Structure 1
Amino acid sequence: MKLVTRSQLGWPASAAPSQTTAKGVKVHYEGTAISRNLLADHDACLAEWKAIRKSHLANTVENYSDVAYNYAACPHGYLLEGRGLRRRTGANGNQALNQAHYAIVGLVGSSGLTEPTDAMLSAIRDGIDLLRKNGAGSEIKGHRDGYATACPGGPLYAWVQRGAPRPTTSKPTPAPPKEEDTMTPAQEALLKKLAADVAELKKNAAVAPWTYRNAKLDAESRAAGNRIPDMHGRIEQLQATLDAVLAAVAELKGV
């Protein structure tokens, strides 16, 4: 569990009323537009959580004693302390509902960042488990259960309805591919090209034999086919073919 405490947030002890037991936990979301910048910046998550508390304390109608939730969960998997353990929530709608369940809010909203990450879901489960060890019962509900609201939004509520399962963090290691399956179609095409280039290289490397008839190698003997091949042109041809083969091999190896 990755817990960010009130003291780490620079907050004093919560002034919320004490409450040692509850039926369970209700899950919430913010219900407003939330910036997707939170996904890449954990400091933005902390700033968002502090802004929520500031807005609650400034709400003279509700007259909150502290941020309304017991905990928040951010996209990076951190559980952020709010009212904390054994404190009555101020988030569930009315006094009776607040007494029935503790509250955890996921830092997602109705637009922008709407989908909880697996890390956020794990952090919510961390909070639920922590609250269960400190007076919460087994119930896990959404804010809309018992109160007319869209909270905690579609994605989070669907997760709650599935029983709020902890996401699996380990994936099975795939079996190594069979040897005959290790080559992609593109690699097979390269291999065929490589074979053709090698064949071309062998053909070009075969220099026609010539017979040394006499020391003068006069025009008559050359006209009869006993000539020295044009080695300079042949070498250039061989080099070009070899370069093509080496390039194909490099591409086949992925280097």
Structure 2
Amino acid sequence: MDPARLRRAVEAGWATAAGLGLQVDDASVVHDSDRVALRLAPCEVLARVAPLGHLADSEFEVEVARRLAAVDAPVAELEPRVEPRVHVRDDFAVSLWTYYAPVGPALAPADYAEVFLRHHAALRRLDLEAPHFTARVAAALRQVNDRERSPELSDRDRELVSDTLGGLSSAFGDDRAGDQLLHGEPHPGNVLNTGRGPLFVDLGTCCRGPVEFDLAHAPEEVGEHYPGADHALIHRFRAVNWAMFTAWRWREDDRMPDRGRWRVEGLNRVRAALERCGRG
């Protein structure tokens, strides 16, 4: 967010928590992009603050978290001292979560796969409407094919990303018999190693599809420890996932930190993934 809007977002998160009786003496920015994550102290709450236009997305995330907590899924939990819902403050949607301090080293591949198995098992227990992953691919494709939304993307790179999204995704076909509810973006940044064990965060990306779509977000070694995974399908999904990531980074209004580096890195990762699955 731009500095002025970021200040207002911090104020909205602080005021929401304080207004609900939580003690807030300090707020530090944990993540700043299209929405903001704040650590509030000393109440140790994580406030997720999004523009009001993302109210429905925030409400969906809270509902997913509420249902997953009820089936003991390995996920970050909503703040238990307040009502589990989205609060509107100023022109922001604010949700309040338990803050988890990260502990220990990064997850070993076998541990990552084990928490995936538990998470996917919990997700299969939910009766929840969620978009299919192909809807997210289509949204990214619209972004990259619209020159006004991504004016700085070169013709050569636009063709690369567009062909990857359109060509590979169409190859997945219409057979959805093996689809289930997924996390949607379970990359290493969305898996916290905490005192409670590994927990998934950022649950608003929940969608439907094969488990390989989730596995393609994790380090490559993780899939080797996931029983029954289709490794060729993981490679194809990895190319599509990096193409989606790259499409968002080239939006003119993207606000991801260090966006310039990630634009280049995303394109390089797309090319590498295509070569890995024989489509370079």
What TM-score results when the alignment is normalised by the length of structure 1? 0.25
What TM-score results when the alignment is normalised by the length of structure 2? 0.23
Which structure has the larger Rg over C-alpha atoms?
1
